[in-house]
Amino acid sequence: MSSDLAIETHELRKRFGAKDAVSGLTLAVPRGSICGFLGSNGAGKTTTLKMLMGMTKVSGGEGRALGLQIADARQSTEIRRRTGFVSEDKRFPWSITVGELLRFTRAFYPGWRPALAERYLNAFRLPPRASAGRLSKGLRSRLALLLALARGAELLLLDEPTEGLDPSMIEEALQALVSLVAEQGTTVFFSSHQLANVEQIADHVCIIDQGRAVVSDSLDELKARYRRVRLVFEGDPPPGGFEGARRDGRTLSLLASRNVDEIVARAKAMKARSVDVQPVTLKDIFLECSKGASS
Amino acid sequence: MFFPPNPSSGVPVYRQLIEQIRHAIETGALRAGEQLPGTRKVAEDLVMNPNTVAKAYQELEHQGVIEMRKGLGAFVAPEGRKGGDLVQKAQPVLRAAMDRMVGIGLSEEQMRRLFESEVIRLRQEPRRE
């Protein structure tokens, strides 16, 4: 296993009763990258993050975070020490204020960065004297993110970090992540349903579908590989020949990866009247790759 | 100095940034020998991935458009304007074609789409002659 990778899993598996939540997940996240972790609801994102954090037991396969085995108790402790985590529920105790929570958390982490905490307390407009548990959903998301950012962690594992935030706060949160990566070479692995956020700051993307990684690649590489192809014929399009193509009158459209040239050549041989090749967005790729969960 | 790239345009973000920087040099907004903003500043200002900014700078260095000076940052290369001359030569060709497209009645959006798909075609069907 390579030391250039912050996260590496091989055939990772988590079984709940008779059902696999994660069923043979293989992915690789380079150090210093911002990696978007995408998948439909119930695809296995939260379970994967919890396994990486040692919060739920691995049922099979193997995984490493920061080069350490996630299934080994001692190494898992070391992973948690060096990793900032934002959980899905973002719950805090009622009996403690935001300011007290910051002072409390700070005591556990020698790498804590007070200046950074102060900066984001203001930027995220967090009220220091309010009860942490009684904050609105958006404020709790911001507080959770602040706690993860200020720890001086090498790796951030974030489960829906921008959940419940308005557009200007999302931009603020994304900027905080970008800034941390630029400054310290931190690796960020975050799940999100907001494809636009992922597309904006990620350089890597993992798409999980039914517990398996269907895509784990650099975003530039994905965009270079996929093309939307639209073929217009004189009459009815010839039956068959183009796998996965959608037919609409005289038009066939499909999402192609790698074999674009071949499709174009074949379409010309079939006397297509017009052949249009367009670049794709992350949304196109996501919808194509995460069909399993909805069917 | 630069404006945020459009992440969902389909064109990789690093390539959009390269185009912006090339354009800034071609139009004289950035001149030979002048310093470019650091990758971290660009990443923070435009809220984009710092590795992507670094990738754009590396590619521009490889193309000889900018120079990386150790510990100092990125500067526009002395020959960085060469591309500018070519672009200035090509501009009337494109302008004439676009004037005719406007005459036919194409919208701005249609022209942009046509141009993008022709660029992709060029990349995928290397000229055979």
Condensed to tens digits (0 to 9), the pLDDT of residues B31-76 reads 999 999 999 999 999 999 999 999 999 999 999 999 999 889 999 9
Based on its alpha-carbon atoms, the radius of gyration of chain B, rounded to whole angstroms, reads 17
Name which of A20-24, A193-197, B9-13 the model is least confident about.
Answer: B9-13
Residue B10 with chain A: CB contacts under 8 Å: 223, 278-281
Best B42, B47, B53 member to test A by mutation, with max A CBs in 10 Å, is B47
Name which of A181-195, A250-264, B52-66, B111-125 the model is least confident about.
Answer: B111-125
pLDDT at B37: 95
Whether residue A1 is predicted with pLDDT greater than 60 in this model: the reply is: no
Identify which of A141, A260, A263 has the alpha carbon closest to the alpha carbon of residue A190. Answer: A141
Residue B11 with chain A: CB contacts under 8 Å: 223, 279
pLDDT at A7: 97
d(CA B97, CA B73): 40
pLDDT band for position A237 (cuts 50, 70, 90): confident
Q: Which stretches of A117-273 are assigned E, i.e. beta strand?
A: 155-159, 187-191, 204-209, 212-218, 226-232, 246-248, 251-257
- Cβ contacts of residue A20 below 8 Å, gap of 6+? A13, A14, A211
Best A223, A231, A232 member to test B by mutation, with max B CBs in 10 Å, is A223
Nearest-CA distance B101 → chain A (Å): 18
pLDDT band for position B26 (cuts 50, 70, 90): confident
Whether residue A104 is predicted with pLDDT greater than 70 in this model: the reply is: yes
pLDDT at A138: 93
Nearest to B124 among A171, A175, A261 (CB): A261
Between these two residues, A199 and B117, which has the higher pLDDT value? A199
d(CA A117, CA A146): 7
Is A200–B121 a contact, with Cβ atoms under 8 angstroms apart? no
Is B44–A182 a contact, with Cβ atoms under 8 angstroms apart? yes
pLDDT at A14: 96
pLDDT at A295: 38
pLDDT band for position A22 (cuts 50, 70, 90): very high
Instruction: Yes or no: say if A285 and A226 are a contact pair by the CB < 8 Å rule.
Output: yes
pLDDT at B126: 62
d(CA A252, CA A230): 6
Query: What is the arithmetic mean of pLDDT over B72-84?
Result: 76
d(CA A80, CA A267): 54
Query: What is the arithmetic mean of pLDDT over A257-264?
Result: 85
Mean residue pLDDT across chain A: 92
Instruction: Yes or no: say if A143 and A98 are a contact pair by the CB < 8 Å rule.
Output: yes
pLDDT band for position A269 (cuts 50, 70, 90): confident
pLDDT at A182: 95
